[in-house]
């Protein structure tokens, strides 16, 4: 059975088409990607930015009912439901929502006969390689895309991936979608739609998606299954940043966050953290996380209206800030 599924996906990649191979085995394999619907808690911190009702995909990765999805879909969730391609809907439990990787593990009761998608080695995926994006809804919703880049990604919300997959052409059915290699293995989970995934100078802007490699899941699988995050007690400021030239600018400050309590302001330019000059978000995050655990006090030098100001921020644990 597995060999048939592998052959199906290998053929679909080579021919750049999936719809022409809608065989029963392929349909069963695609049914391992399920629809995910979430209702968040009342007065959730992320309600304004991510919405109170969220939907996307999740991927069945073992026969016990373990699923993986992108973390923001289930952040501060009060109710999580998954719907299989046969219409069956089941409640799902969030085992862990890992802030460091951006991945979440769930568990649900699987309908009889549900197959899983094995985890592949995402470190083997390279630039210009063809892969399949598989959201919920079956083979008709799958399509072939190309890996346009494998490199660092720094998110404005104090988030950093050492390696991420940038794919093109873009798909709007990306949230929690499976990224499948030629061996019919899961190598990534859909995270973002980006307006420009080009890198370097003099490159034409190209729309694309960002996928989180499952290597981040494979490396810490045992820890995550216990419900523990991979970077527990990581210090957090509560700022959203913009990379401008030559400085980092604060674009938003989370309510009741360490940054708010330290009277940081929108449009403050971050010059240095703990006496280290920071130009990019990745520089700032790495310096912040190296300072110690949450609760550690860090010193920021900011520029405000042409004046340099030094301020101390007592960091917090972001996970405890969420509802």
Instruction: List, for residues 260-316, the tens digit of each pLDDT value.
Output: 999 999 999 999 999 999 999 999 999 999 999 999 999 999 999 999 999 999 999
Judge if 304 and 269 occupy the same domain: yes
Q: Which of 219, 246, 263 is the last residue of a domain?
A: 219
Instruction: List, for residues 79-105, the tens digit of each pLDDT value.
Output: 999 999 999 999 999 999 999 999 999
Instruction: List, for residues 213-267, the tens digit of each pLDDT value.
Output: 999 888 888 889 999 999 989 999 999 999 988 889 999 999 999 999 999 999 9
The structural domain count of the chain equals 3
Beta bridge partners of 153: 161
Asked, for residue 37, whether it belongs to a domain, the answer is: yes
Instruction: List, for residues 46-65, the tens digit of each pLDDT value.
Output: 999 999 999 999 999 999 99
Range of the domain at 317: 235-321
Asked if residue 183 lies in contact with residue 205, where contact means CB atoms within 8 angstroms, the answer is: no
Note the pTM of the prediction, 2 decimals. 0.91
Asked, for residue 111, whether it belongs to a domain, the answer is: yes
Q: Which of 115, 148, 164 is the last residue of a domain?
A: 115
Q: What is the pLDDT of residue 12?
A: 53
Q: Which residue has the tokens 């100001």?
A: 309
Q: Which of 88, 115, 142 is the last residue of a domain?
A: 115
Percentages (nearest 5) of helix, strand, coil residues in the chain: 20, 40, 40
Asked, for residue 28, whether it belongs to a domain, the answer is: yes
Q: Which residue has the tokens 């998608």?
A: 117
Judge if 183 and 213 occupy the same domain: yes
pLDDT of 8 > 60? The answer is no
Q: Share the mean pLDDT of the chain.
A: 91
Judge if 90 and 136 occupy the same domain: no
Q: Which tokens go with 10?
A: 């290998």
CATH of the domain at 46: 2.40.10.10
Long-range contacts of 5-8 (CB under 8 A, 24+ apart): 5/29, 5/184, 6/183, 6/184, 8/184
User: In whole angstroms, what separates CA 120 from the centre of its chain?
Assistant: 17
Asked, for residue 256, whether it belongs to a domain, the answer is: yes
Which of these, 38, 295, 89, 61, lies nearest to 178 by C-alpha position?
Answer: 61
Q: What is the pLDDT of residue 196?
A: 86
- Name, in order, each residue with C-beta under 8 angstroms of 108's C-beta and a sequence gap of 6 or more: 65, 67, 82, 90, 91, 92, 93
Integer-rounded Cα Rg, in Å, for the chain is 21
């Amino acid at each position: 059975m597995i060999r048939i599924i592998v052959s199906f996906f290998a053929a679909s990649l080579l021919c750049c088409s999936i719809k022409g191979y809608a065989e029963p085995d392929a349909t069963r394999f695609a049914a391992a990607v399920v629809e995910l619907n979430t209702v968040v808690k009342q007065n959730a911190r992320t309600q304004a930015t991510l919405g109170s009702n969220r939907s996307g995909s999740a991927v069945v990765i073992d026969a016990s009912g373990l699923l993986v999805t992108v973390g923001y879909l289930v952040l501060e969730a009060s109710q999580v439901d998954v719907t299989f391609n046969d219409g069956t809907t089941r409640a799902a439990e969030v085992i862990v929502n890992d802030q460091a990787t951006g991945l979440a593990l769930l568990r649900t009761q699987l309908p009889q006969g549900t197959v899983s998608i094995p985890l592949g080695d995402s470190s083997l995926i390279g630039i210009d390689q063809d892969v399949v994006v598989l959201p919920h809804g079956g083979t008709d919703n799958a399509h072939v895309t190309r890996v346009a880049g494998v490199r660092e990604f720094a998110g404005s919300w104090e988030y950093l991936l050492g390696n991420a997959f940038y794919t093109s052409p873009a798909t709007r059915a990306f949230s929690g979608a499976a990224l499948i290699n030629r061996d019919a293995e899961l190598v990534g989970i859909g995270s973002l739609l980006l307006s420009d995934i080009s890198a370097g100078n003099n490159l034409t802007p190209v729309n694309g998606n960002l996928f989180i490699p499952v290597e981040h899941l494979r490396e810490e699988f045992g820890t995550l299954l216990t419900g523990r995050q991979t970077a527990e007690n990581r210090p957090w400021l509560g700022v959203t940043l913009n990379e401008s030239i030559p400085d980092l600018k604060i674009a938003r400050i989370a309510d009741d966050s360490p940054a708010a309590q330290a009277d940081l302001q929108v449009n403050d330019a971050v010059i240095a953290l703990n006496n280290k000059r920071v130009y990019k978000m990745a520089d700032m995050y790495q310096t912040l996380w190296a300072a110690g655990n949450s609760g550690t006090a860090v010193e920021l030098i900011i520029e405000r209206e042409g004046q340099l100001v030094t301020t101390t921020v007592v960091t917090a644990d972001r996970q405890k800030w969420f509802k």
